[in-house]
Amino acid sequence: MEPPKSVARPEPVPTSPAEGLAAQKPFSSRRQLIAAAVGNVVEWYDWAVYSMAAVFFSAHFFPSTSENSLVPLLATLGVFAVGFFMRPIGGLFIGYLADLHGRKRALSLTIVLMGVGSLVIGLTPSYESIGVFAPILLVLARLLQGLSTGGEYTAAATFMVESAPNGKRGFYSSFLYVGALIGNLLAIAVISALLFGFGEDAMRDWAWRLVFIFGSVASIVGFLIRKYAHETHVLEAESTSDLTVTARPRMFDFLRSHPRECLTIVGLNLAAAALYYMWTSFLPTYAKLTTGFDLSQGYLVSAISLAYFIAIQPIAGSISDRFGRKPVLIVFSGGFTLAVIPMLNFVGNSFVSLLVVQLLGFTLLAGWTATSAAVMVELFPARIRATGIGFPYAVTVAVFGGTAPYFVTWLIDRDLTTWVGIYLAVLALVSLICIACMKETSRIELPK
């Protein structure tokens, strides 16, 4: 009688992210934080610089008309909005990649896509040279960047919060927007330096291209930094009768198993999406369109207020760790509900008035930027976390954030400026109601 043949079994699959990473060299949470934040700087520089520089390069891609000089700017901001509508696709597919193959691989992909998009924008000939192909290439580049940004937020948010020590998830969450805001500040610095060095005429003629070429080169640096980060997520495993197999998530598992959490993400972010892009990118342009404010002075105001905004992120995140996420978020949404109309009415053709409005708005907005990533990560289990955050978040940002600059410009163009504040106040009120109904998540263990 032959001895029983041995049955080859697959190697055991780690049953949790902690076990799966145990074999790796222990990583420093601080190093993880730096790797994610520095890559985030590059990613969000490339994304934000488009709307900031639109006033300079819009005429190269879209011809103006004798009746309305705002046509090129409106068209360029329309492409800005189009890019946002790729973000849900990026949030879904790159989020799924992050859940299936790890956060690090997803983060590497997003920064490559963003750099390629910036390079295409910087090198595309004008409408006069290649006709309709110029706006087509601009749209394609922005779609690529939208795909990247949709995946960037969800992968970076999960990576940062999963890297956080217990009791510091809000603090670590705040650095997601520290990186994003430094990217915005870098965009302002580059544009301001080019304006100072070459002048506004050269900026409108050719120097705007340097803004995007710089971003594509910086993406290479960000990619190399992220290459040496450590993975925070491996697939969990489930046992059958005699085998241990990997529990692969399906793409839409998050909708089937966590519909309430998905709606919470929408309510949490709908006002913030519009307010964030209004305050971080568009407020100088808003001041120029409504009061004739000097754009070069507007960029200086933005630089000062963004530096302040960056400094208070860790403070707001730490407050949410100590006192809870909901109180901090209620201050954000309730404050804007009451104050956004008076703040916009106070914007005038004055350096001081614009600075005051930006500082007040950023103080309130920090309640969301510093805590939102932690809240969303705390809502989902690890195996569907990136996809569960990425898709509903990106849809919300696309609908309410991507359309904000275009919609505000459209209202101003039709002498309906008063409705800008009313629109933002209504959104803030809806978010306030949703946040009030949300459960507190700061004290719970991160779902496995």
pLDDT in tens, 241-277: 444 444 677 788 888 888 999 999 999 999 999 999 8
Position 14 scores a pLDDT of 43
Q: What is the pLDDT of residues 208-235, one digit of tens each?
A: 999 999 999 999 988 888 887 788 777 6
Establish if 248 belongs to a structural domain. no
Burial of 205 (0-12, 13-18, 19+ CB in 10 A): middle
Distance CA 279, CA 129 (A): 35
pLDDT at residue number 237: 53
Q: Taking 90 as the threshold, does the pLDDT of residue 425 lie above it?
A: yes
Position with higher pLDDT, 82 vs 204: 204
CA–CA separation, 165 and 167 (whole Å)? 6
Instruction: Give yes or no for residue 430 having a pLDDT over 90.
Output: yes
Q: To the nearest whole percent, how much of the chain has pLDDT over 90?
A: 37
> Rounded mean pLDDT of the chain?
83
Domain hosting 226: range is: 24-230+253-436
Over residues 30-34, the mean pLDDT reads: 77
Is residue 106 scored above 80 in pLDDT? yes
Average confidence (pLDDT) over 399-403: 82
Is 56 within the bounds of a domain?
yes
Q: Is the pLDDT of residue 16 over 80?
A: no
- Domain annotation covers residue 246: no
Whether 87 shows a pLDDT value over 90: the answer reads no
Short-list 240, 230, 195, 239, CA closest to 56? 195
- How far apart CA 209 and CA 123 sit, in angstroms, is 7
Owner of token pair 């949300």: 438
Q: How confident is the model at residue 312 (pLDDT cuts 50, 70, 90)?
A: very high
DSSP, collapsed to helix, strand or coil, labels residue 248 as coil
**Residue range 325-345, pLDDT digits in tens:** 999 999 999 999 999 999 998
- Number of domains present in the structure of the chain: 1
Question: Which residues touch 136 (CB under 8 Å, ≥6 apart)?
Answer: none
Per-residue DSSP letters for 185-244? Answer: HHHHHHHHHHHHHH-HHHIIIIIHHHHHHHHHHHHHHHHHHHHTS-------EEE-SS-E
pLDDT number for residue 22? 39
Per-residue pLDDT band for 433 (boundaries 50, 70, 90) equals very high
What CATH number has the domain bearing residue 131?
1.20.1250.20
The tens digit of pLDDT for each residue in 114-142 reads 999 999 999 999 888 888 888 889 888 98
pLDDT bracket for residue 27 (50, 70, 90): low
Share of the chain above pLDDT 70, in %: 87
Residue 10, domain member (yes or no)? no
Query: 343-351: which pairs have CB atoms within 8 A and are 24 or more residues apart?
Result: 343/421, 344/286, 344/420, 344/421, 344/424, 345/421, 347/283, 347/286, 347/287, 347/290, 347/291, 348/291, 349/287, 349/291, 349/292, 349/293, 351/297, 351/300, 351/301
Question: Of 66-70, 340-344, 349-353, 413-417, where does mean pLDDT reach its minimum?
Answer: 66-70
In a domain, 211, yes or no: yes
Q: What is the pTM of this model?
A: 0.78
Q: Burial code of 390-421, b = ≥16 C-beta within 10 A, e = fewer?
A: bbbbbbbbbbbbbbbbbbbbebbeeeebeebb
pLDDT at res. 64? 65
Q: What is the pLDDT of residue 254?
A: 85
In a domain, 336, yes or no: yes
Assess if residue 13 is contained within a domain.
no
Does an H or E element contain 245, and which? Answer: strand 244-246
Residue 1: inside a domain: no
